[in-house]
Amino acid sequence: MRSLLPALALSLAATAGAMAQSRPATFPTRDVAVTYNVLGARSPQAPRDFAVAVLASEGLLRVETSALPGWGLADRRTGRMEVVMDSMRMVTPSPLKPEDSTRYLRMAETARLTRAGTASQAGQSCTNYRWEEGGQRGTACITADGVLLRGVNERGEGVEATSVAYGRQDPARFRVPEGYRRVDLGDMARSLGLSLPRR
């Protein structure tokens, strides 16, 4: 569950999408804000819930949780993920490796999917899919316009939506404010002799 916030953000970008030839695409088709609960086993430091806002026209997600000192900005098109810390006026790359980001973002395109009926979650209807990817299996319920409402693996770990609000998102909330310092915390830690994965 380490680096849960970036991973969840990118997995949401990967599994949510509009329907195309009975397969989900890779991103919601309109602006939306969704609040999720985290399901299954997790470390004490991991968030219990988080919120995702989607700027559909630019392929951007803003991810927030009270468990972490900042918010995540994910670019679905490039696979890039940054963590923005307003209190420190600082932005740092996600600890996820670029290839891991791409894998999350493309999972809906590469996973084996089987439709499994319909359901509803948070007051919204969705289509159930059984998915298989990289030796892992689970289920996902996705709306017709591309919002992931529930996604779990076979161990019951995953997320479920508790609220869904459609409406225009302010593009300014998806921008790193001017004047923020860009710092690579991984490089900083390694310079101090700490072992962190290289991106």
User: Domains in the chain and their CATH numbers?
Assistant: 4-111+159-191 (2.50.20)
Cα separations (Å) of 197 from 4, 181, 183, 189?
Answer: 15, 22, 16, 10
pTM for the model stands at 0.79
pLDDT band at 172 (very low <50, low <70, confident <90, very high): very high
pLDDT band at 167 (very low <50, low <70, confident <90, very high): very high
Mean pLDDT of the chain: 79
For 107-159, how does the pLDDT look when each residue is reduced to its tens digit (9 = 90+)? 556 678 899 999 999 999 999 999 888 888 999 898 988 898 998 889 888 89
Structure token digits, residue 33: 């804000």
> How many other CB atoms sit within 10 Å of the CB of residue 181?
10
Rounded distance between C-alpha atoms, residue 80 and residue 180, angstroms: 18
